[in-house]
Amino acid sequence: MITRIGLVAGDIWSYLDKNGGAAEMEDVIKAVDKDRNIALMSVGWLAREGHVVLEETKGSSYTVRLKKEREPSK
């Protein structure tokens, strides 16, 4: 199961990277075309690891956005 979640997380990251770095949660789930529960677990994994940020939009929708790397300190 962990392997499946990790593979789908990679698919999600790639989708976001190729599509401007952000997308609505439902669009992400449709784009990866995997089991909805696995896709949601994968988004959670990416969020927990600090790779994406979830932003609540109107209603009960969310935007998934790739987290920008911090610029080096000067």
The answer to whether position 61 is within a domain reads yes
The count of structural domains within the chain is: 1
The answer to whether position 73 is within a domain reads no
The answer to whether position 72 is within a domain reads no
The pair of structure tokens assigned to 70 is: 């911090």
pTM of the complete model: 0.87
CA angle 54/66/11 to nearest 5° reads 100
Burial class (CB in 10 A: 0-12, 13-18, 19+), 33: exposed
The tens digit of pLDDT for each residue in 6-19 reads 999 999 999 999 99
The answer to whether position 62 is within a domain reads yes
The answer to whether position 71 is within a domain reads no
pLDDT band at residue 71, thresholds of 50, 70 and 90?
A: very low
For position 54, which CATH number holds? 1.10.10.10
What's the rounded Cα separation, in Å, for the pair 41 and 5?
A: 7
Q: For residue 66, which of 21, 15, 7, 12 has the smallest C-alpha distance?
A: 21
Tell me the residue range of the domain where 17 lies: 2-66
